[in-house]
Structure 1
């Protein structure tokens, strides 16, 4: 099993472990089962989840911090306040809720600056499982539908990152808007090591496919989505391509022999690599970024791990009972007003601290804040690119803008309407 292999690689052996590990499980049942299995394998392990009594949770936290336990299998309830420096591995048995959550949890490994392992296990049922959990919250009335829709989109961002194909380190930096800090390959993640060691990877062949794929994006730049780029590469009949004249271009059918699903995955990996982006609202339009144009022209290396062509199929083709995720609505007038207020606040903060505005928060983060209207710091972390560090530094100001905006809205609602015929005369 991959978990067992990761523990052996990181900690050497249960008898004389060289550090500690945290294993995140998706459910309480899995947490207890995996903890029991590891104990049987000789590890000093214990489970931790919110369903345990407070005294048990406190005992597990204390024993892990003191070194009495080497492995804790937990739900995401574990980790806050735990600062053990010799954590050599953080393993996720299933994807957490967002890139932000994964970044925070995997960051608990290697705090002593020694090498550590971060392993995220992904399976075909993860999307359906996460969707079912969110819908269960919606049906019970435990969460606002807008917040649930936002959480679903955050989970999809994580799955796109997991799809990968480009350096994990650089992809996370781009996600948080830190493009200038990218390394063009960290040399340590699974993608970088695979690109370095796989003798079957032909850099010239990869470059040719990537440049052809990006040429299709350049053709449909700002006009259509990625499905049109896939049709263009396949030479597939498509009304959009016909009336726009793209069927007469050299790109039409340039990768006709490649499977459609495989080409879609290649294009998604180009998105993760930062070569393709989206503009527009409810119907995102694909655009070629400046780095993508450089790769297409051959001015920049196409460091990408292509997806496997022979994809394993699930044993059952029965679809889970889950509704499709609704598209994120365009902001209404109130949402736009809050977004503008947040931008003004960001400009004031950036000028006072003499930093670029995106350091405080990106436009995408501000749009998310305007959509979910967080009431506290925990809800604020649901916004794209807003992690614990930014919440600590800028959270009070951002929440203050939201509160002020909501107070103004409430005052407007309470004010008498001059055109209301029921309004009495003075």
Structure 2
């Protein structure tokens, strides 16, 4: 059966060989065993269930949490000659009956379905009358009640094992720490499943985190200098900020679209469709956008607010550079982000244990922001990969961080918080340290404190940086009543007693994009760039005719290989990675015509 799977990989998908551990996962499913697969975004998870579904008898049922993406996935498979369909609430009654009829007749290779629809008694009864090749549970981290994309319907998916014990199941995700992996196994009944973990490293992504000064100006400079015409995603925590940022970017000349749960389903679907099918679109979104996005040429992911956890950060940044080409994960964050997230957490309705775990996850995210060594090392260590050398492709590697002895300054800050009664926010405490005789300071009599004016050796920005790092390190706590008052934590005692010293980051003023990564077209000669643009133009034209994303026709990597190899016949074109039998028949002549025209133009020079 593995021989047949390899033949389908080559003929249908146009790839010569499997990427580890795809072959091992596929072999397990073909043998009827369960599997839990953790692969980074863009690592080829989909093939792990698509190929076994094509080789085994019956239909592969894919549980997907995002209705909006099912249609795009089905279209892409249909272009490969695969009999795929979806069942969800967007179908009218007649269309749903047609899909159900094809399912009963065994005329489908893959069926995509939302968990809510799958678990309806009527759907389960229908499946009992069909031959099922496998169940694939995509985005399996949604089962985690402590995860960032929790979907309560996922908790009920253990019913699949109970009702279809002989059908192999595969659960897949790009993001799961050790705790979440165990939760997936327990809640989905995958105790007997084989676990496959491919390295979490995404070496083509450059990680950059810097202090927030003027977020919009910083974002504008980043986009202008490094990604003026690229597709990307900008994440914000609130719907209001999403709307305002999208409008501001549009006013600045970018094609920017908002996306959040407060928009109608029609608007969300329209914006997502434009992002997938047009070039150079920037989506400004909450975390409601992105899960399952297949667009391979997202060149940047920017965060204007701090994510709640390392898992959320990794999942969101992983939507950049799925094609393996250089991409940026860029983020600005500041003290207010830290205070806001701590207040959200402590003021939530979560139980004590859940709050404890979420607190640990937030602290890990803050640690990643404030680290002075390689960010990638820290990020991968969080997921259990602790043997990576410094990466050379993050901000702390490219521009090593300077540190300073902040012990004495921190003691002054902590003393000022204590002597002002632990009732005031950062700005007020800094006014006291700088000796500012504001109306509020004098009214409270704090201009007579011993800490009044003892901090004039640092400026306002330096003090804000110091307080940010004290809160991030847990030496100061923030109240949860909405006023942002600071108070000392038990962790600060050794510092106040002189038992420890404190090394802090020396924040720098940020300049424009330095050491920009080399893009695809920059690696090409002038004639090659002309051919590259001509092939992309043909791809765009075909995509518009069929109303599908351009990458569904061919990925950039496939076009790049055409540029480099310049095949002159259908047989030679078939050897290009990503050109399967169906696409060769559908598009081969059109692309050969462009390639031959380019050779003719080159011969005339």
Give the TM-score normalised by structure 2.
0.33
Q: Which has the higher strand share?
A: 2
Tell which structure's C-alpha radius of gyration is larger. Answer: 2
Give the TM-score normalised by structure 1.
0.46
